[in-house]
Amino acid sequence: MNKEQLKTKVDALQANLDVRESELRTAQVELDVALNELANAGKPVISCDLAGDIMDEIEEMFSETLNNVCPEDLSPEFGLSYNEIHLECIDTSNIGLCRHDLQAVLEGFFAIQDDKESDNS
């Protein structure tokens, strides 16, 4: 093969590669869409606004819980090093996040049914 023929062959191979890379990108996009659809299959759909409202309520519940914690109940342990005092350990087992509080937040947004009730309907 002479130089001109090799250049033509390289150009053809490059064009072939460009087409296949484009097909690969398209296939990857389609795969990502299908994976996203699979991940969301069967999940109830809610709006972004509702999700934000729920998160705000949960955040407020946690904030109230943490604000009501007495610092002495955390049993902080401090350490000393050269020119520095640092917190080595803090016991969070005394912070009681009540399941009922979280359920109350969710019930404010959703009509929650027992599994038996939903099976009968």
First to last CA, the chain: 76
pLDDT at 26: 96
> Is 80 exceeded by the pLDDT of residue 120?
no
pLDDT at 10: 93
- The answer to whether 32 and 62 are in contact (CB under 8 A) is no
Highest averaged pLDDT of the listed ranges 40-44, 56-60, 93-97: 56-60
Is the domain of 36 the same as that of 51? Answer: no
Query: Which whole number is the average pLDDT over 54-67?
Result: 85
Is the domain of 49 the same as that of 105? Answer: yes
Residue 108 CA neighbour count, 13 Å, CB half? 15
The boundaries of the domain holding residue 56 are 45-110
Residue 119 placed within a domain: no
Longest dimension (CA), the chain: 86
pLDDT at 119: 58
Q: How many domains does the chain have?
A: 2
Query: Which whole number is the average pLDDT over 66-81?
Result: 82
Question: How far apart, in whole angstroms, are the C-alpha atoms of residue 57 and residue 41?
Answer: 26
Residue 121 placed within a domain: no
Is the domain of 100 the same as that of 62? Answer: yes
Is the domain of 86 the same as that of 104? Answer: yes
Is the domain of 100 the same as that of 61? Answer: yes
Q: How confident is the model at residue 86 (pLDDT cuts 50, 70, 90)?
A: confident
pTM of the model: 0.50
The rounded mean pLDDT for the chain is: 84
* Residues 91-101 pLDDT 10s: 877 777 677 77
Residue 115 placed within a domain: no
Is the domain of 52 the same as that of 98? Answer: yes
